[in-house]
Amino acid sequence: MSELKIVLHAPTPGALTRARSNATNLRNAEPNAQIRIVANGEAINQAVAERDAGTDECLVLCNNSLKKKALEAPEGIEVTTAGILLLAQLQQEGWIYIRA
């Protein structure tokens, strides 16, 4: 079986909360899974304001959303030019897309 690669899309604050919980649960169930959480839109404020030591390493913030809200990514958090583009690229590479 190939390695499990999951991308969780979090466009709202509630979705980001669910994505973080899903990522934690997935890591516990399948420690070798690759997990990315792509936060954009309304989730950006929460992603910047509320750090989560357990899932920040897999969090990726949309730079377009950051700019729109005049926010900067916290140190150590990955930023992508456009969340929608990263979601499409990861799916093209075989990642499983789940909207949280």
CATH code (residue 57): 3.40.1260.10
Over residues 10-43, the pLDDT tens digits come to 999 999 999 999 999 999 999 999 999 999 999 9
DSSP secondary structure letters along 11-28: -SHHHHHHHHHHHHHHHH
The secondary structure element, H or E, covering residue 7 is: strand 5-10
| Alpha-carbon distances, residue 87 vs 13, 24, 36, 43, 97 (angstroms) | 18, 20, 10, 15, 8
Task: Give the structural domain span for 24.
Answer: 5-99
Residue 73, strand partner residues: none
Query: Which pLDDT tens digit goes with each residue over 87-96?
Result: 999 999 999 9
Number of domains in the chain: 1
CA-to-CA separations, 90 to 64, 72, 74, in angstroms, rounded = 18, 24, 23
Which residue type does 40 have? N
Phi-psi region of 27 (alpha: psi -120 to 50; beta: other; left: phi over 0): alpha
